[in-house]
Chain A
Amino acid sequence: MTRYVAIRLAQAALTIYLILTLTFVLARMAGDPTALLLPAETNSEDAAIYRKALGLDKPMFEQYIDYLKGAVHLDFGRSLRGGGPALDFITERLPATLKLAGISLVVSIILALGLGLIIELTNSERLRTFILSGALLREAIPAFVFALMLILLFGVKLQWLPFIGMNGFSSYVMPVATLSSATLALYLRVLRSNFSDERSKEYMRTALAKGESRSYAIIREAFPNVLLPFITVVALNLGFLIVGSVLVETVFSWPGVAYAMVQAVTQRDFPVIQAGVIMIATVFVIVNILADIVSSKLDPRIELS
């Protein structure tokens, strides 16, 4: 176990290093930020001075080394726009994003598992079709549009729920609903196919031969087996959650990392982009390791080594 964690941490470090490098390359490829940062009337001499002050005139490799050195000390420099430490800008916002994404993740899992189990237990084709077509309909609507529909209905028309910013429990309802419902159809499909795989397994026959009822066998025997591949799928789809957060945070004015990042990208605010990508990547890597550990805890056949 310790050995496993050590290896995974080493892998994580490598992943983060690669992401650091990729971020650097992509950000620099995107072009010179000074065109965006300076007013249009700036002449080229001043732009050059500015570039120099930001260290953008140095050879790429030197910039890269500086950047890596800084990253080791969690120093991504100061925001080109605001001047504050880039990492602070991200870490201040990280909790809001983590709360939203975390709650949405949990809700989406509970929702999918709950509905998936209801479908399996009732074994009603009609109920299944009903739930799945609802989920598919939701999947077909882009998150942005879905969020706006929610806002118009529950925010403007009925005025039940707030939709600007993060203020208390009720402000979570619509963003969480948007994010967690996006993956519902996918999860239900995964559950459905896993369940039908497991239902035909021989241990299910053993369970019935022992005197278990079908529902009992579905919950106690098939479910733990279904959970394993499901967790893998959920972990693989965390990326969705991040992409979804970008839209949802923007529409709901959520004070999280995602929309600050979008802003940083449009403004070529490299330090903030880099700090943000690294933070998100780190969270991503950690969550993936956790998912691995959880599924290995659930699956005795996996040895963590």
Chain B
Amino acid sequence: MRSYNRRWIAAAAASIAVVMLAASCGGSSSGGGSSSSSDGPAVAADISVPLPAPLAVIDPTVDTAAGGTVYGVLFRSLVFNGLDGPVPALAKSWAISPDGLTWTYTLDTSLKFQDGSAFDSADVLFTFQKMLTAGNPHLGTLSIVASIEAPTPDTFVFHLKTPNAAFIILSGGKSIVPSDYYQSVGADGFSKSPIGAGPYKFDSAVAGGGVKVTAWADYPIKQPFKSIDFVPVPSPQAQIAGLQTGTLDVVANVAASQVETLKSDSKLKITETEGNNVAFIAFNTGQAPMSSLDFREGVDLAFDRDAMVKTLLSGHGVAAGGLITQPTIGYPDLDAPKYDATAAKAAIKKSGYDGSAINLTYPTSVLLNADLTAQAVASYLNDVGVKVTLIPLDYTTFLQQWAAKTIQGMYIMGYNNGIDADTIISSLYAGGSRVLFTDDAVTTAVALTRTTSGDVRVKALKALEELVMETKHYYAPLMMPNVIYASTAGLPFTPNAFSPMYAAPK
């Protein structure tokens, strides 16, 4: 039962984190027109895609979980968070007040919902009012919102408590629901027959928490698939088996160890992209010896990260130089620390570490290949004279200790970057509920990333990452596993970590 849970969480967490496939058949520029068909699909197909967990409801205003993939297909948001940053979607444009506290979106009211009803700011207001209700899980990402208003049908305004450049990602990514329809059918009615403005329309529920969607003819970009069946298939093994028999067409998060076998099957295509998950070590800097910069630096230098990628990820990944991953907006591209056992030993010696064993906690799931990774870490640390006691915890227990900041010593964790670097920043740098250090320099650097934009922000992000990693060694980043997709050969898609399986604006 327990090991089963772990498998499930691993599959679920990984799958939710990485939206599965993209049909980046080139779109036109924002706002519409027909797509160039040259790199589009030759034949519109019906495909089946596994969901790692059944959908309890189909309602993006109350659910932040399993629906991620499905919501991206059924609904549209104010902006589309693409690979190269946000592009207009329901909003034509946006403006930020000089103090960064007022965000004004100009809406494209020529757009319609799938039932033909018109779209305007009342729909946006309704959606965000729901999300800002006490108890709504969206509150977590919208916590900096002070108030909202819809002054005209085509304008919508957020007033913030503090400025944050990443707010475009946080607010712009929320699926908008049609206010009139939602209110007329109620929450349960909406969930049974949802209507959005996304590229695919709700067709029917699939037994056991799946959903079938069909391409919406009025979506501005032609879609590569006629229909998509989202079928709940929780077992990763069954997902692969389904792919091999042609029952399923796309499987995300294929285990690295399976890649070679699947590659030999000519009916399948394997695609690999950089992932947005990072494995790292964190220090409880309130305790000795982790409070010592020398000690942390020593630990940081103790790992042969390339060798770890080779053995632990079968080569399907990269050595990490920071916590922000390649596909994430604001990726600073830091080099991984050089493996230097001699320097590591010297630094640790300098720190005055007395050789007593230090707790090394890790979650047995979510962190990829958890037990082996933890053992490898312990072994490298042992080589440089650091003794650790491994403490494996089941993910939920870990999560609670983590949130309560009660983890002693050090911990290893695998964490998913969101779309924007701010996910990592707010949870691991900015003094939030999981941060085990206090550092004014970091606070200042974080603030800079939130009050700047464009190239300046990218620079600020790089500076922040360098400060946290290379100067202060608050974390020792380890590896970033690739995301591996397997799909039926000949499907028109090029997956990446962010584009869902519809033709997206660029």
Contacts and interface: CB of A to CB of B under 8 A. Distances in A.
Q: Consider the complex of A and B and state whether they touch directly, i.e. have CB atoms less than 8 Å apart.
A: yes
Interface of A: 30-32, 35-47, 49-50, 52-54, 79, 81-85, 89, 93, 96, 144, 148, 151-152, 155-156, 159, 162-167, 243, 246-247, 250-256, 259-260, 262-263, 265-268, 272
B204 interface: no
B142 to A, nearest CB: 9
Contact of A260 (B54, B235, B241): B54
Interface stretch (B31-39, B369-377, B397-405, B453-461): B397-405
Contacts of A32: 400
B209 interface: yes
A263 B140 CA distance: 22
Contacts of B152: none
Interface string B181-217: 0000001100100000000000000111110000000
A139 to B, nearest CB: 18
A144 B237 CA distance: 10
A194 to B, nearest CB: 31
A41 B139 contact: no
A101 to B, nearest CB: 15
A83 B143 CA distance: 20
Interface string B43-77: 00000000001111101001111000000000000
B427 A250 contact: no
B238 A81 contact: no
Given A40-B427, A50-B139, A84-B56, A165 B207 contact: yes
B4 A253 contact: no
A159 B245 contact: yes
Nearest to A260: B54
B237 A49 contact: no
Nearest to A253: B233
Given A164-B248, A165-B208, A268-B396, A82 B56 contact: yes
Given A42-B143, A43-B143, A89-B56, A36 B8 contact: no
A263 B403 contact: no
A266 B12 CA distance: 10
A81 B65 contact: yes
Nearest to A79: B56
Which 3 interchain pairs have the tightest Cβ spacing? A255-B208, A53-B135, A82-B56
Given A30-B396, A35-B399, A41-B423, A83 B59 contact: yes
B141 interface: yes
A43 B396 contact: no
Contact of B427 (A41, A47, A79): A41
Contacts of B422: 41
Main secondary structure, interface of B, reads mixed
Interface of B: 1, 4-5, 8-9, 12, 53-57, 59, 62-65, 133-137, 139-141, 143, 187-188, 191, 206-210, 231-235, 237-238, 241-242, 244-245, 247-248, 395-397, 399-400, 402-403, 415, 422-423, 426-427, 432-434
Contacts of B397: 31
A245 to B, nearest CB: 12
Contact of A253 (B187, B234, B244): B234
B139 A164 contact: no
B433 A251 contact: no
A253 B8 contact: no
A243 B4 CA distance: 11
B56 A262 contact: no
13 contacts: A31-B396, A38-B137, A39-B137, A40-B423, A40-B432, A43-B432, A84-B56, A155-B245, A156-B245, A246-B1, A253-B234, A262-B8, A266-B9
A266 B56 contact: no
B419 to A, nearest CB: 12
A93 B426 CA distance: 38
Given A82-B62, A144-B4, A262-B5, A39 B141 contact: yes
Given A39-B141, A266-B5, A266-B9, A164 B233 contact: yes
Q: Which of A45, A165, A265, A268 has the most CB of B within 10 A?
A: A165
Nearest to B133: A53
B57 A84 contact: yes
Contacts of A82: 55-57, 59, 62-63, 65, 191
A41 B143 CA distance: 10
Contact of A96 (B208, B242, B396, B399): B208
Nearest to B243: A156
A254 B242 CA distance: 14
A84 B56 CA distance: 7
Contacts of B134: 49-50, 52-53
A163 B233 CA distance: 10
A43 to B, nearest CB: 6
A200 to B, nearest CB: 41
A88 to B, nearest CB: 8
Nearest to A46: B143
B4 A250 contact: yes
Contacts of B244: 156
A159 B241 CA distance: 10
Contacts of B1: 243, 246
B139 A253 contact: no
Contacts of B63: 81-83
A246 B4 contact: yes
A164 B433 contact: no
Nearest to B426: A41
A266 to B, nearest CB: 5
Contacts of B57: 79, 82-84
Nearest to A254: B208
A266 B8 contact: yes
A106 to B, nearest CB: 22
A251 B396 contact: no
Contacts of A54: 135
Contact of B399 (A36, A42, A79): A36
A265 to B, nearest CB: 7
Q: Which of A83, A84, A159, A246 has the most CB of B within 10 A?
A: A83
Contact of B139 (A46, A96, A246): A46
B215 to A, nearest CB: 23
Contacts of A49: 134-135, 139
A177 to B, nearest CB: 16
A46 to B, nearest CB: 5
A89 B188 CA distance: 12
Nearest to A247: B4
Nearest to A249: B234
A246 B427 CA distance: 34
Nearest to A268: B396
A166 B241 CA distance: 16
A151 B135 CA distance: 42
Given A42-B143, A159-B245, A263-B53, A166 B62 contact: no
B135 A36 contact: no
Given A84-B56, A263-B8, 19 more contacts: A36-B396, A38-B140, A40-B415, A40-B427, A40-B434, A41-B140, A41-B427, A42-B140, A46-B139, A50-B139, A53-B133, A85-B188, A148-B237, A156-B245, A165-B207, A252-B238, A253-B235, A260-B209, A263-B53
